């Protein structure tokens, strides 16, 4: 067994359904890897210490902070960013509701908001507004005042549950 540290690490993972292999610097966090190495600039790097949520992406089915996970740790995982979730149509209804409700202005927070919202909706049922707010408590929006975002997510939750029941 090797007792060695490396400053460059080989990783193999899937990003938005496609296999990716890369060699990454040890200190490279996942969101920089996605943005700078793979050109997937949807998720944003902003505070880089876990506070704002702009970097939120999905790893192995869970919403996580892209700035608080190293690219090296993503070896073997399945990563989805807003680009992939848009292409598959997985969040098309959320995106339409965000536009309809004016739930974005500058759009900087939106990729993270959508990944966080999708995680909540994937858990099933129709979350009440308090639960929606709580789930988004780690995603900052400097433009909208949140009300419209909660409206949009609530609308989609109700629509999805209706569709599921029908």
| Residues at the interface with ligand FAD (CB under 6 A) | 50-51
The smaller minimum CB distance to another protein, of residues 125 and 162, is found at 125
CB-based contacts of 110: which residues, under 8 Å, 6+ apart? 82, 98, 103, 104
Which listed range, 84-92, 102-110, 113-121, 157-165, lies at the site for another protein (CB under 8 A)? 113-121
User: d(Cα 21, Cα 143) in Å, to the nearest integer?
Assistant: 37
Please count the other Cβ atoms lying within 10 Å of the Cβ belonging to residue 132: 23
**How many residues at the interface with another protein, by CB under 8 A?**
37
Q: Is 60 left (phi over 0), alpha (psi -120 to 50) or beta?
A: left
| 118, two tokens | 């999708």
Shortest distance in whole angstroms from residue 55 CB to ligand FES: 3
Q: Is 146 left (phi over 0), alpha (psi -120 to 50) or beta?
A: left
Our finding on whether 134 is near another protein (CB under 8 A) is yes
The smaller minimum CB distance to another protein, of residues 134 and 162, is found at 134
**In angstroms, what CA-CA distances link 130 with 40, 45, 94, 145, 153?**
32, 27, 18, 15, 12
The smaller minimum CB distance to ligand FES, of residues 58 and 65, is found at 65
Binding site for ligand FES (CB under 6 A): 45-48, 50-55, 65, 67, 104-109, 141-144
Shortest distance in whole angstroms from residue 165 CB to another protein: 25
Rule CB under 8 A: which residues touch another protein? 1, 3-7, 9, 25-27, 29, 32, 48-50, 53, 56, 62-65, 67-70, 72-73, 75, 116, 119-120, 133-135, 137-139
């Amino acid at each position: 067994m090797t007792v060695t540290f490396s400053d460059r690490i080989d990783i193999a993972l899937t990003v938005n359904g496609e296999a990716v292999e890369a060699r990454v610097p040890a200190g490279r966090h996942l969101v920089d890897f996605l943005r700078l190495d793979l050109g997937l600039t949807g998720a944003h790097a902003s505070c880089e210490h876990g506070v704002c949520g702009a970097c939120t992406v999905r790893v192995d089915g869970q919403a996580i902070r892209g700035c608080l996970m190293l690219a090296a740790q993503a070896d073997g995982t399945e990563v989805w960013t807003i680009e992939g979730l848009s292409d598959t149509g997985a969040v098309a209804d959320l995106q339409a509701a965000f536009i309809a409700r004016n739930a974005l202005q500058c759009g900087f927070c939106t990729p993270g908001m959508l990944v966080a919202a999708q995680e909540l909706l994937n858990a099933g049922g129709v979350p009440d507004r308090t639960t929606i707010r709580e789930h988004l408590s780690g995603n900052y929006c400097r433009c909208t005042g949140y009300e419209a975002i909660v409206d949009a997510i609530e609308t989609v939750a109700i629509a999805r549950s209706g569709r599921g029941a029908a």
